[in-house]
Amino acid sequence: MELFKCFLFCLVGLTTACSSDVAIVEQEDIYITVTQTVYVGDTAPPEEVGEVWVDSFDQPDTTDGVDILVVIDTSCSMGDNEAQLLDGIATFMSNLPSADWRLNMIPASPDKVVTEQQFPLVPGDDIVDAQQMYDGMTHTGTLEEGFQSVQDYILSNPYASTWLRWDAALLIVFVSDEEEQSDMSVDDFTDWLNGYRSSVFMSSIINLDPKKSLCNTSSYNTGYRYEEATLMYSGVVMDICSKDWTDGVRDASDSIDPISEWGLTYVPIKESIVVFVDGVPFMDWNYDPIGNKVLFTVLPDGGSLVEIGYRYL
């Protein structure tokens, strides 16, 4: 039993590491198990009381910065959403991580994106700068091809390469009140996107299915393809008919913010807390008993799996 407990404790990463040497001695069909527990560190872990729990999360891979493309349907039907769009972008900018970010707006018209040459918004810019960018964007396009616009902007617009970074994460935000109409399939688009960037995030502000939408009554105008692509990246999908985009836009920005603290599910026995990053013990953290959370003094690497194990009563 003690061997099993030690094995279980090690399996979920709740000691500073332990191992068991097992010797099987055969004598008249009787098997005797001999265990020896070895602790790594100066002291043994506290008495094994309470239930075992492991909180875990994947660290967003944005520690090297994030490039943001806001792809906007500029057809006439979108005119009523301009104020909400700009309010949403203002909320988005105010919630972006302190890490280096760059944001640009492009129309959902492949024939127009190849000539866009606006300098991206960067930390320190505000809604006035965003308004100027929106006003300066080409608004004469009538196509609804968000996927193709992203690909053509990246591959065919020489200016794009002057600000997009190969080692940063990429967040694409689609804003449209109609279905995505590119010739390429959702799988073709996401396969290409995954080959272009190792870390991709996506959000969509679109017409939801009529059964879920606050105002959309036509399946023809529902952004099913945008929604399908966004959910492949576990992204945020918002109803464009919502009067207030604040919560959804904030969720989209929070999804790319490197995690510097993590609230625990239960109140732990403090001495039992251990943290592993990609299976390796991680020491750069403190426990905040008031907020019941682990605070990271050094951010775990982007893309890593962080596991916080502990016992609780």
Do 181 and 280 lie in one domain? The reply is no
Domain that holds residue 23: 2-59+259-312
Rounded percentage of the chain residues whose pLDDT exceeds 90:
50
Token pair 């810019």 is found at 125
147 has pLDDT over 70: yes
Pairing of strands 169-175, 200-206: parallel
pLDDT at 26 (0 to 100)? 45
CA 265 to CA 249: how far, in whole Å? 26
CA 187 to CA 202: how far, in whole Å? 14
Do 263 and 179 lie in one domain? The reply is no
CA-to-CA separations, 9 to 95, 177, 307, 308, in angstroms, rounded = 39, 52, 14, 13
Q: Mean pLDDT, to the nearest integer, of 273-279? A: 97
Do 117 and 220 lie in one domain? The reply is yes
- The number of domains in the chain is 2
User: Do 113 and 107 contact (CB within 8 A), yes or no?
Assistant: yes
Pairing of strands 305-312, 51-58: antiparallel
Domain stops at, among 254, 275, 299? 254
Pairing of strands 66-72, 37-39: unpaired
Token pair 């879920």 is found at 212
Do 233 and 304 lie in one domain? The reply is no
Do 54 and 70 lie in one domain? The reply is no
Q: Which three-class secondary structure state does DSSP give residue 82? A: helix
Do 181 and 263 lie in one domain? The reply is no
Mean of all residue pLDDT scores within the chain:
82
Do 25 and 159 lie in one domain? The reply is no
DSSP per-residue string spanning 234-267: T-EEEETT-S--HHHHHHHHHTTSPP-EEE-SS-
pLDDT at 288 (0 to 100)? 97
Tokens at 34, concatenated: 């001999």
Q: Spell out the residues 6+ positions from residue 267 whose beta carbon is closer than 8 angstroms to its own.
A: 292, 312, 313
Provide the edge-to-edge strand list for the sheet that holds 305-312.
Answer: 51-58, 305-312, 274-277, 280-281
pLDDT at 16 (0 to 100)? 42
113 has pLDDT over 90: yes
Do 194 and 297 lie in one domain? The reply is no
Residue 251 phi, psi dihedral angles, 5° rounding? -60, -40
Least confident of 182-191, 208-217, 241-250: 241-250
Domain CATH number, residue 164 = 3.40.50.410
Q: How confident is the model at residue 127 (pLDDT cuts 50, 70, 90)?
A: confident
The larger pLDDT score, comparing residue 232 to residue 198, is at 232
Q: How confident is the model at residue 56 (pLDDT cuts 50, 70, 90)?
A: very high
Do 206 and 240 lie in one domain? The reply is yes
Do 276 and 186 lie in one domain? The reply is no
Model pTM greater than 0.75? no
Q: Spell out the residues 6+ positions from residue 194 whose beta carbon is closer than 8 angstroms to its own.
A: 200
Q: How is the chain split among helix, strand and coil, in percent rounded to 5? A: 30, 25, 45
User: Do 23 and 283 contact (CB within 8 A), yes or no?
Assistant: no
18 has pLDDT over 70: no
Greatest pairwise CA separation for the chain in angstroms: 90
Do 215 and 81 lie in one domain? The reply is yes
Q: Which three-class secondary structure state does DSSP give residue 52? A: strand
User: Do 119 and 163 contact (CB within 8 A), yes or no?
Assistant: yes
Q: Mean pLDDT, to the nearest integer, of 236-255? A: 80
User: Do 182 and 147 contact (CB within 8 A), yes or no?
Assistant: yes
Domain stops at, among 218, 233, 254? 254
Query: pLDDT digit string (tens) for 25-51?
Result: 344 444 434 334 344 444 445 557 889
17 has pLDDT over 70: no
Cα 290 to the center of its chain, rounded Å: 27
Domain stops at, among 235, 254, 273? 254
Do 84 and 150 lie in one domain? The reply is yes
CA-to-CA separations, 21 to 24, 37, 129, 217, 234, in angstroms, rounded = 10, 7, 65, 67, 43
Query: pLDDT digit string (tens) for 58-97?
Result: 888 766 788 999 999 888 767 677 777 778 788 777 777 6
As beta bridge partners, residue 121 has: 103
pLDDT at 79 (0 to 100)? 65
